[in-house]
């Protein structure tokens, strides 16, 4: 009876959406499911068996507090239920949805038979490190994804199954990463630790994650660059920490880096060839304390340098050889201490530049004038008196310092990893 009612309700919810998809699909926006609506698999009216599962008679038992859709017998929905404890998890369950509850403690008993789990969504609960039994996240040798963001964790729970590939720990109260925390996680490709209180990452904690591609540690308390990053890394997010220095040869060991996001730190100076990385496409160093420009690798497309201390930009340093192979298309330089546009050599050097955004510059001591430098190229029809410079650059209006995983669009580079 209960199940029937749910199916009816679900059919009512799904039907209009199905129609809309044909009528008004917006090809410019990526489809983002409403994060607060729990995901329900589509109903297959002709069959209720997952053909990947062998046809031995499986128990269809489901925890009393939860919902196990008949169409997807390996999934148990326990989300948005004000639960205070984890229900008993039947052994066939592969996807476990526990997000948006009030769970503080996790008892190993609930997980004792949970040997098939592939995905656990435990986000938006009240999980506390000292109330989680050791090994609850290591019962399944098939675990791929564990989502623990928005909890009260003070440590990275360990052990986690060594099969895990994606770990989400954002918005907790984690203040350190110890060596043992990530031990044996040889298959991790994505680790999100944004919005925590991390000020310390122990020497070799990250170096053994030899498949790590994306590391997010934005909005934390780091004073130095995390040591020992694996050479597999492609996306590094360290926005909004307190990092003042990058060791000279830091990136030399990370040849696969495609994007580095380090805005809102305290970087004062970098060696000329610091970012000479063959695959680097996006570099965000906005809101730092840079004074001297550096070499721009040929692959770089987007360079963000707003709100630094640049008084001049020496093109010869950015681009010592003008062979027209540079891919730079966008350069942002507003809120520096420039007194005028950079040398027109820039356009010889960077033939693909579509816009250089200067905008308003910071006032230097003893200088009463606020310098406003028009953007390059100038708008088609000059719009003097229109003080909203940003209108000329709609494509770059986005949160620059949010965790990479929450980026919505316009940033193809990061899409594949969410």
Ligand X SMILES: *[C@@H]1O[C@H](CO)[C@@H](O)[C@H](O)[C@H]1NC(C)=O
3 state SS for the chain: CHHHHHHHHHHHHHHHHHHHHHHCCCCCCCCCCCCCCCCCCCCCCCCCCCCCCCCCCCCCCCCCCCECCCCCCCEEECCCCCCCCCCCCCCCCCEEECCCCCCCCECHHHHCCCCCCCEEECCCCCCEHHHECCCCECCCCCCCEEECCCCECCCCCCCECCCCCEEECCCCCCCCECHHHHCCCCCCCEEECCCCCCCCECCCCCCCCCCCCEEECCCCCCCCCCCCCCCCCCEEECCCCCCCCCCCCHHHHCCCCCEEECCCCCCCCCCCCCCCCCCCCEEECCCCCCCCCCCCCCCCCEEECCCCCCCCCCHHHHCCCCCCCCCCCEEECCCCCCCCCCCCHHHHHCCCCCEEECEECCCCCCCCCCCEECCECCCCCCCCCCCCHHHHCHHHCCCCCCCHHHCCCCCHHHHCCC
Binding mask 79-118 for ligand X (x = CB under 6 A): ---------x--x-------xx--------x--xx-----
Judged by CB under 6 A, how many residues of this single chain contact ligand X? 27
Judged by beta carbon, residue 124 or residue 392, the one nearer ligand X is: 124
Among 40, 128, 245, 401, binds ligand X (CB under 6 A): 401
Binding mask 362-391 for ligand X (x = CB under 6 A): ------------------------------
Which range of residues in 245-253, 314-322, 327-335, 357-365 is near ligand X by CB under 6 A? 314-322
Judged by beta carbon, residue 186 or residue 252, the one nearer ligand X is: 186
Among 121, 265, 308, 326, binds ligand X (CB under 6 A): 121
Is 147 a binding residue for ligand X by CB under 6 A? The answer is: yes
Among 3, 8, 20, 39, binds ligand X (CB under 6 A): 39
Query: Cβ 122 to ligand X, closest distance in Å?
Result: 8
Is 299 a binding residue for ligand X by CB under 6 A? The answer is: no
Query: Cβ 400 to ligand X, closest distance in Å?
Result: 9
Among 314, 329, 355, 364, binds ligand X (CB under 6 A): 314
What is the binding site for ligand X (CB under 6 A)?
A: 35, 39, 88, 91, 99-100, 109, 112-113, 121, 123-124, 147, 162-163, 186-187, 219, 231-232, 240, 256, 264, 314, 316-317, 401
């Amino acid at each position: 009876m209960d199940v029937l009612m749910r199916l009816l309700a679900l059919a009512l919810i799904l039907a209009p959406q199905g129609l809309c998809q044909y009528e008004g699909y917006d090809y410019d926006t990526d489809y983002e499911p409403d994060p607060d609506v729990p995901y329900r698999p589509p109903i297959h009216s002709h069959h209720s068996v997952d053909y990947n599962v062998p046809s031995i008679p499986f128990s269809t038992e489901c925890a009393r507090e939860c919902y196990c859709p008949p169409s997807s017998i390996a999934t148990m929905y326990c989300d948005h239920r004000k639960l205070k404890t984890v229900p008993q998890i039947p052994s066939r369950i592969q996807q476990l949805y526990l997000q948006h509850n009030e769970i503080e403690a996790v008892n190993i008993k609930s997980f004792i038979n949970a040997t098939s789990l592939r995905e656990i969504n435990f986000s938006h609960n009240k999980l506390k490190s000292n109330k989680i039994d050791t090994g609850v996240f290591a019962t399944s040798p098939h675990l791929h994804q564990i989502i623990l963001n928005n909890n009260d964790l003070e440590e990275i729970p360990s052990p986690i199954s060594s099969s895990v590939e994606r770990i989400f720990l954002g918005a907790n109260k984690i203040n350190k990463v110890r060596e043992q925390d990530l031990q044996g996680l040889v298959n991790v490709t994505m680790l999100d630790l944004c919005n925590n209180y991390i000020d310390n990452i122990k020497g070799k904690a990250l170096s053994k994650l030899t498949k790590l591609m994306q590391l997010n540690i934005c909005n934390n308390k780091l004073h130095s660059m995390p040591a020992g990053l694996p050479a597999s890394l492609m996306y590094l997010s360290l926005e909004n920490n307190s990092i003042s220095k990058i060791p000279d040869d830091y990136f030399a060991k990370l040849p696969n880096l495609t994007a580095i996001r380090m805005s809102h730190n305290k970087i004062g100076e970098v060696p000329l060839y610091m970012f000479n990385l063959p695959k680097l496409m996006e570099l965000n160093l906005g809101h730092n304390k840079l004074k001297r420009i550096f070499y721009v690798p040929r692959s770089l497309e987007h360079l963000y340098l707003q709100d630094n201390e640049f008084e001049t930009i020496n093109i010869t340093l950015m681009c010592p050889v003008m062979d027209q192979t540079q891919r730079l298309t966008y350069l942002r330089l507003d809120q520096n201490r420039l007194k005028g546009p950079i040398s027109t050599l820039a356009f010889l050097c960077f033939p693909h530049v579509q816009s250089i955004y200067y905008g308003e510059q910071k006032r230097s001591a003893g200088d009463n004038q606020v310098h406003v430098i028009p953007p390059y190229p100038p708008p088609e029809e000059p719009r003097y008196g229109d003080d909203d410079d940003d209108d000329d650059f709609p494509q770059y209006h986005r949160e620059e310092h949010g965790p990479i995983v929450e980026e919505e669009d316009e940033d193809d580079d990061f899409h594949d990893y969410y």
